[in-house]
Amino acid sequence: MWPWRHEPRPAEAGSVSFDGIGIALRGVAQRLGGTRVGVLAIGRIVSPLQRELYRRTGGRLSLTGRAPVLLLTTTGRRSGEPRTVPVFYLRDGGRLVICNVNPGFERPNPWVLNLRAAPHALVRVGRDTARVRARLTSDHELAGYWPQLTKMWPAYQDFYDKGGQRSVFVLEPQRD
C-alpha cells in the first residue's frame, strides 16, 4: 500500500479548482501537445511552470485540470544529479503507472533514459513523497493500462500511431 495519506487532485474537496479554465487549457494543450511546437512548449514552458506550481501548492493547483500529476525525481544518468519532472499517472492499487511516448521527432525524454539506467526514484503526490522502484510494464499490463493512459492524454495515441516509441513504467513503493 502507498504511504500517502490521500491523493490530492485539483477538483476534490479541500483543493482549489480551475475547472472551466483547466478544461479549456487541457483541451488546447492536448491539441498542441500532438505537434512539434506543442512538444517544445510543454518541455520548455509548461513542464517547468507545472513543477513550480505543484511544489508551491502541494499539488492543489495544476495546469492539467483533473488529470492526476505527480512529481518524479530521477537520478541523471550522466550527471548523477536529481532531475524532477511532472508526469501524468494512473493509480493501480498500491502501484502508480506513468507513460511517455516519444513522437520520433525529438530526442528521448531524459526521465525515461534515467529510469532505465537507474530504476530507483522519488515520487511526490501532493505533499507526500515515497521512494519507488520503476519497471517497464509487461505486455499484459500494457494492454490494460494503455486505454486509460490514452483517455487521460490522447496525444499518447497520436504519437504512437505515427511511429512513436512508448515507455510505460510501473512504480512500486520501496520498503525502507
The mean of the pLDDT values for the chain is 81
d(CA 80, CA 82): 7
Identify the CATH number of the domain defined by range 19-173.
2.30.110.10
CA distances, 129 to each of 68, 121, 170 (Å): 15, 10, 16
Greatest extent of the chain over all pairs of C-alpha atoms, in Å = 42
The residue to which cell 550522466 is assigned: 78
Q: Is 70 helix (H, G, I), strand (E, B) or coil?
A: strand
Model confidence, pTM: 0.76
pLDDT digit string (tens) for 26-57? 555 555 555 655 555 566 667 777 777 888 88
Q: Name the one residue in this structure whose C-alpha cell is 500494457.
A: 142
The pLDDT assigned to 8 comes to 44
pLDDT surpasses 60 at 16? no
Domain parsing of the chain, residue ranges:
19-173
Q: 67 vs 16, 23, 101, 128, CA distance in Å? A: 14, 10, 17, 18
pLDDT, one tens digit per residue, over 130-170 is: 999 999 999 999 999 999 999 998 889 988 998 889 999 99
Q: What CA–CA distance (Å, rounded) separates 94 from 174?
A: 11
